[in-house]
Amino acid sequence: MRRSERLRRRNGLRRPARLERRTALRRLTPLRRTAVSPASEAQRAKVAGQPCLVCGKRPVDPAHLVPRSLGGCDDAQCCVPLCRACHGSYDRGELDLLARLEPRYRAELAHALAHLSLPSLLRLVTGTRWRPVDADIPKMEERE
């Protein structure tokens, strides 16, 4: 006698229960999109009236160089002015800001460096993965 048959006899189940859903699942409350990390008033005041760092359009949003999820803060030096399109590209890692940040936004880069290591900040700001310089140098065993 199988274990399942013993359980059926003990529990009084004559046939296995059918677990089928007859109606589709529906969400009772609609999803609401909210800003994950809204900018502080100091950050908004800093970028007010400035053009986009990349394309020069207006109006602009304060874009966090280091997102709060990675350790960013509410300081005014944590953000730069970007329009909505450029801000989205930066957040997706498609935009290289390093050439545009230097030298005018050097203080913002230094502040971001307080939150992240240099390789992490370079990857975030440039959108590319940096590999170590010595990765191209063959090891001693390979040379011989």
**Is residue 40's pLDDT more than 90?**
no
- Whether 101 and 121 have beta carbons less than 8 Å apart is answered as no
| CA distance linking residue 12 with residue 9, whole number of Å | 5
Which residue in this structure is represented by tokens 């280091």? 66
The C-alpha R_g of the chain, in whole angstroms, comes to: 27
Checking if the pLDDT of 87 tops 60, the result is yes
Q: Domains of the chain: which residue ranges?
A: 41-126
DSSP state at residue 92: T
Read off the amino acid at residue 86.
Answer: C
Give the separation between CA 3 and CA 103, rounded to whole angstroms.
75
At 35, is the secondary structure helix, strand, or coil?
coil
pLDDT tier, 6 (very low <50, low <70, confident <90, very high otherwise): low
Confidence of residue 29 (pLDDT cuts 50, 70, 90): confident
pTM beyond 0.85: the answer is no
The residue with greater pLDDT, 94 or 14, is 94
Q: Is the dihedral of CA 117, 108, 114, 85 positive or negative?
A: negative
Structure tokens at 42: 């100091």
